Each structure stands twice: as C-alpha cells, then as structure tokens.
Amino acid sequence: MIIRHLVLLVLMICTLNSCVSKKQLTYLQEDRESKVEDSLLTIKRTPPPYRIKVNDLLSIRVKALDQELVGMFNPIDESNSEATTEEKVYFDGFKVDRKGEIRIPTIGKIKVIGLTLDEIRLKIKKKLLDDYFKKQANLFVTVKLPGIRYTVTGEIANPGSYIYYKENVTIMEALANAGDISTVGDRKDVTIIRNYPDGKKVRHIDLTKINALDSPYYYVQPNDLIIINPLPQKSLGLGEDAFGTITAVASLLTSITLLVWRINR
C-alpha cells in the first residue's frame, strides 16, 4: 500500500515538473496589472538604420537619362534571370573589405564602414557628379543589401539559414519563417549572436514579454545567429505535456514491475 502511494506521488511530481506551461509557450504577454482594455500598444523604438560592417555585400545601381554612360558602374548582369538577387551580388556586387572599403569601377575605393545605405548612396552620387557627370544627367543611385540573411538553430522546427528580401525583419517573422519554436524551446531566453565592428557579441531577448517589441534586438540584422535553447523539461525526457509524461512514467513503471516480477518468480 505504501509503495502504491509512493508511486502515485512520484507520478504526480514528474507530471507537474515536466509539463510545459501555457505561460512558457505564449508570445508577447501583456502585464495584466497595467493592462488597459481596448488600449493601443505604442512602440517607442523604431528600427535604426543598418550600418555597414566588414564582409557585407552591397548592390549598387546607377541610372541616368543616357543609360549607356553609366553602364560601367553597373557590373551586375541583369540578363541572368535564373540567378537569385543574392547570387548576383555575390559574383558582381561590392564586398566591404577589412579596411571598410569597397572598390567601384572607375571611381575606385570608397570608405563605407559604419555608414547607412542612404549615406553611401549620397556619397557615391556626390562623387559621380563632382568627377564624371553634370546635374543635367539626372543620376539616380540605389544602394541595397542583397536581402537579410540570418541563421536559426536549436529548438526550431526547420533550423537553417534564410534570406528575407525586406529592409526590416522582426525576430518573430524570422522564427515563423523557420517553422516557429518547438514546444520545448525556451522563448524566455532567445540568444542572438550579432556582428559588431569590434567582433561578435551575445545578446538575449525574452519573447514572452510584450516589451520585447521595444528591444533593440527585436529586429534582425544581416548575419545574425539566433539560438533557441531547450527548456529543462526536455532534459527530463518525460514528455512535452501531461499525457506524454503520464505515458512515459507508466511505461517506466510497467517495465520495473515486469522486471521485479521476473526476479521474484
């Protein structure tokens, strides 16, 4: 009788400790104490403009009234329709070297590290107007990244590297694109390894809190590595929910009972 009670107690403890709660699975939870019904959520932070780093790839296009005059500044072959944007830029784009510079045909080297895309655009346009063209040429310069590439690994449905062809990508979009975090993934402590001019840095974000929307790491940057760590429940190996836990424990107890029965025969 005592053994039976002990078994039931162990079963209850395992069930309570191993189940993943709703609070651990819900994204962007509001603070119930400060929540105002039917209120609009005001996001204070807007995504800051991305500043170019070493090894970034840039797509630069120059257009004018006479397109033949600016052809030398446009190395990307538009006739290859089968290649993706990133593939085109990889072969014909402009890579930022260790000195933070890019080399453009005829123009030469231009320092771009730490600049925004718009600042680079204005710098190139000024260089062209000062040295090669007149204002009457109506130059139109565009500078873009070949999409935002990021990598997701860990407790995610489809780990791997992805490319988003948008100027701003949130971490929620990035995770959804990779199939979302699994049931045993830790949404409270998502790790982001990000490149900075002085090296890589590790950052963290809690996606279960509504203030994650105001985090500087809510927006993905090129070459971000997003790591979804497992919850402690996974290491227990008893199941993701109560039913799975009960099934696992029941199977274990059945095995132990059969073993004891065979020993005592």
Report pLDDT for 116: 95
| Average pLDDT, 10 consecutive residues per value, the chain (265 residues) | 48 53 79 56 72 91 81 64 65 89 90 95 93 83 92 96 92 95 93 90 94 92 95 63 54 61 64
Contact 165, 87 (CB under 8 A): no
Q: Please, what's the b/e burial string for 214-235 (b: 16 or more CB within 10 A of its CB; e: otherwise)? A: ebebbbbbbbbbbbbbebebbe
Report pLDDT for 6: 46
H-assigned helices in the chain: 2-18, 22-25, 85-92, 117-131, 171-177, 232-236, 242-264
Query: DSSP letters along 155-182, please?
Result: SBSS-EEEEE-SS-EEHHHHHHHTT-B-
How many of the other CB atoms lie within 10 Å of CB of 73?
20
What's at 130, amino acid-wise? D
Report pLDDT for 73: 75
Beta bridge partners of 24: none
Q: What SS3 class is residue 82?
A: coil
Q: What SS3 class is residue 248?
A: helix
Query: What's the pTM value of the predicted model, to 2 decimals?
Result: 0.75
